[in-house]
Chains A and B, each alone.
Chain A
Amino acid sequence: MNIKQVAESRVVDLGDSVLRQLKGLGDFTNFTLKTIFWTFKPPFRLKLLFEQMYFMGNKSVFIIFLTSIFTGAVFAFQIYLGFKAINADSFIGPIVTIALAKELAPVLSGLVVAGRCGAAMAAQIGSMKVTEQIDALEVMGINSYQYLAVPRILGAMLSMPLLSGIFLLIGYWGSWLIGVKVIQIDEMMYTQKIGEFMNLGMVAEGIIKATVFGYLIGIIGTYQGFNVTGGAEGVGKGTNMAVVWGMITVLVVDFFLTSFLAKIL
């Protein structure tokens, strides 16, 4: 193969790769638009929505509890180690609580839900796809996006703020245990300082972020499920992609969302 042929082959490979990426983007956009359309079309499947909320919300509480209590405790301890040098350890309360409300609660809840529920969505829908259960729905005249994707996406959107709220409360409790009970900061001062520095905008920022992350985890998990090809290997690949892309998306979108919300809140 001469240089010209090698160069041509590289250009063709690059072109193929760009086309594949564009097709993927087009498919994802198409899927997103379809799910939005079917969200507002009756019948509204509230029973399926509550089932998904129960699975994503209620069944995630224990893991959120464990993650949040240790995050709050560790974060309080690290702040103490840094701030005691400048005699500012009384600021542990507001710093930990603000960080939890604005960042840690929505982001870490998002990572937990992406790992637990994003994977489950992709695996459930993917296995239905490879066993023709989705075709069976379509043949009956039931829209599979409406039946399978919409309740999961809405379920994630509605569960995430609740889970993030639980994360915030339990995380605060973890930091309180370290700050007040272990480090022996005066309890009055600990809670008073939080009241001085916290405001509703910070809580709203966390709630908005959690809702957006819930939507993204839902749309990515269901999209990966609907795009499973092949058999068990395909389901595994789709599940893996749902977790990886769900987590990456939460972290990347968090950055842009923080910049945006800082301007409006």
Chain B
Amino acid sequence: MSEKYSVEFRNLVKVFGDSTILNNLNFGIHRGKITTILGFSGAGKTTLMKHILGLVMPTSGEVIVLDQVINHLGELELREFRRNFGMVFQYAALFDFLTSFENVAFPLREFTKMSEEEISEKVMGLLESVGISPQAAKRLPSELSGGMRKRVGLARGLALDPHIMLYDEPTSGLDPITTHTVYDLMRDTHRRNEHRGFTSIIISHDIHATLKYSDYIVFMEKGQVVEHLDVETFKKSENPVIRRFLEL
């Protein structure tokens, strides 16, 4: 496995109709680090994330994840491969017909041969690690606050011990305090799993949280990477687009 990168893009181009959404991207996402993909709306961040997951295929170029060229995988192989990922969605995307406990247990019941007792132990441990009480574990997503839903989403994403965790605008719609609580939790989760090369990729346009919590920042604009720097170098960037973003 590549020691340096978990994800690499080689000459990645994505065209939808007449629009070029991703324009010849060549970069890698560092293994074991927190990388935030930053940019204005319409920069191509979400499309890039869908390429990592193999939900969208490139028009040309390659997406290499954990040393596998995923755009060469067949559908069934790709589904298997996706178990390397955990994902926290913008609005958590918890299954509304399942309780918090059942949401976290869902991937374990689907993909492992664990007994119900083992599942229960693991789920309660995961929920506890994200600060969800046993009482809240019995509630449906509609009975939880936005922040609690994100936490349950994080616990669900971690259930299968993924190698790569993706966060799509993880703090959208949250108040500033809950935003930082969720980011603290993401960082703590990352640090706990860092020893096994756990990579966190965050899609965001929250510049302040990004500067505080990320190791690397990829700044995108109009389907291209403007800068890909470690956070300290990023802060000093003289690029006018980034300066404009930093001054927001």
Measured CB to CB, the residues of A under 8 A from B are: 127-128, 131-133, 135-136, 138-143
Instruction: Please tell me if the beta carbons of A141 and B89 are within 8 angstroms of each other in the complex.
Output: no
Count residues of B near A (Cβ-Cβ below 8 Å). 20
A139:B85 contact, CB within 8 angstroms = yes
Cα(A148)–Cα(B35), bound, Å: 34
Nearest residue (CB) in B for A136 is B93
Q: Which of B75-83, B118-126, B239-247 contacts A (4 or more CB under 8 A)?
A: B75-83
**B95 touching A142, Cβ below 8 Å:** no
User: How far apart are the CA atoms of A140 and B158 in the complex, in Å?
Assistant: 11
**Given A131-B91, A136-B93: A141 in contact with B55 (beta carbons within 8 A):** no
Whether B201 is near chain A, meaning CB under 8 Å from some CB there, is no
- Contact partner of A135 (CB less than 8 A), chosen from B79, B80, B81, B93, is B93
Contact, CB under 8 Å: A141 / B80: yes
Which of A128, A136, A143 is B89 in contact with, Cβ under 8 Å? A136
Q: Which of A128, A132, A139 contacts B53 (CB 8 A)?
A: A139
Task: Report chain B residues within 8 Å CB of A139.
Answer: 53, 55, 82, 85, 87
Q: Chain A contacts of B26 at CB under 8 A?
A: none
Q: Which residue of chain A has its CB nearest to the CB of B80?
A: A141
Asked if A132 and B83 sit within 8 Å, CB to CB, the answer is no
A133 to B87, alpha carbons, bound, how many Å? 12
Chain B min CB distance to A33 (Å): 13
**Complex Cα gap A133–B85 (Å):** 16
Say if the beta carbon of B111 comes within 8 Å of chain A.
Answer: yes
Residues on A with C-beta less than 8 A from B110 are: 140, 142
Given the complex, which residues of B lie within 8 Å of A140, measured CB to CB? 82-83, 106-107, 110-111
Chain B residues lying within 8 Å of A128, measured Cβ to Cβ, are 95-96
Say yes or no: is B90 at the interface (Cβ < 8 Å to chain A). yes
10 new A-B contacts, CB < 8 A, other than A132-B89, A132-B91, A143-B79, are: A128-B95, A133-B94, A133-B95, A138-B55, A138-B82, A139-B53, A140-B83, A140-B106, A141-B79, A141-B82
